[in-house]
Amino acid sequence: MKFISILSIVFCCSVLNAQHSIGFKFGGINSKIYQSSVNSIKTERLYETIENSFYSGLAFGLIYNYRFSKLFSIQPEINYMQMGTWYEFKAILNNDTVFYISQKLRLNYLMIPILAKFSVGNKNLKGHLAIGPYLGVLLNGSAKNYANWFGTYTNEEKPIDFDKATISRLDYGLVFSPSVSYKFGLAELFLEYRFMFGLHNLSTFQDKSSINSPKPYNRMHQISIGLLFNLGKK
């Protein structure tokens, strides 16, 4: 009982000494869906290949920061992120491209990271490093196809039907985020770089005939600027 009382006193003191901040951020994203296996088939006459590249989007976020000390804080966030990827597929027969399709896959996510944030610096100018897990939910998306089939061109965009699509609506992974901040008054302006490393296989399609079927994962680079407003002690 005495031990519990001591823990309660320590916890209350840490809460009273803690510094609370809320804020927002806005930034740009370069994201792609990384494939864990090589997607190419080559014969004497036919060569097929699939490549994917980065898709550019925007991100908006709300931040809550709970600072235990000058060096350490916990920072949960709620972020809306426009992610996606570009796919390019080519089929070449006798050195002539007979089929080509480029697909722009747009995926809008709600991302919730919970980060451990470490800080160094003086009263106004500081450097930070935040690491931690994230959970993502795919809200909606679309696929836009640009195709050339034996000289016939098509260009169409359709929303993703999640009842038929083979993409998971759940994602999770790790976040690595260095940043710098400058404090003026009760506000703190910050510039942040973020790398997101997805750990969840986004494909719900299971090809039991091949152990080397593609395993897609989210990858994301982000640059953001934002403001934090102090609600606790100065």
pLDDT at 74 over 70: yes
Each residue's pLDDT tens digit, 195-231: 999 999 888 766 544 445 668 899 999 999 999 999 8
Could you give all domains of the chain from N- to C-terminal order, each with its CATH number? 20-230 (2.40.160.20)
Separation of alpha carbons 38 and 43, rounded Å: 15
Greatest mean pLDDT among 34-48, 55-69, 220-234:
55-69
Instruction: Report, in angstroms and rounded to the nearest whole number, the Rg of the chain calculated over CA atoms.
Output: 23
> Token match 């973020």: residue?
194
Q: Point out the least confidently predicted range of 4-18, 80-94, 112-126.
A: 4-18
58 vs 15, higher pLDDT = 58
pLDDT at 45 over 90: no
- Residue 75 tokens read as 């920072």
pLDDT on residue 15 = 47
pLDDT band of 156, cuts 50, 70, 90:
confident
pLDDT at 189 over 50: yes
Greatest mean pLDDT among 8-17, 87-96, 122-131, 138-147:
122-131
pLDDT on residue 215 = 81
137 vs 52, higher pLDDT = 137
pLDDT on residue 10 = 41
Closest-CA residue to 134 (of 68, 183, 79): 79
Q: Which residues is 46 bridged to in the sheet? A: 93
User: What is the pLDDT averaged over residues 142-167?
Assistant: 76
pLDDT at 78 over 70: yes
Closest-CA residue to 73 (of 26, 35, 127, 18): 18
Separation of alpha carbons 234 and 231, rounded Å: 9
Give the 3-state secondary structure of residue 3.
helix
Side-chain-side CA neighbours of residue 93 (13 Å)? 5
Percent of the chain predicted with pLDDT > 70: 73
Query: Does residue 101 contact residue 153 with C-beta atoms inside 8 Å?
Result: no
pLDDT on residue 101 = 76
Degrees, nearest 5: CA angle 219-220-226 = 160
Separation of alpha carbons 29 and 85, rounded Å: 11
Greatest mean pLDDT among 18-22, 145-149, 178-182:
178-182
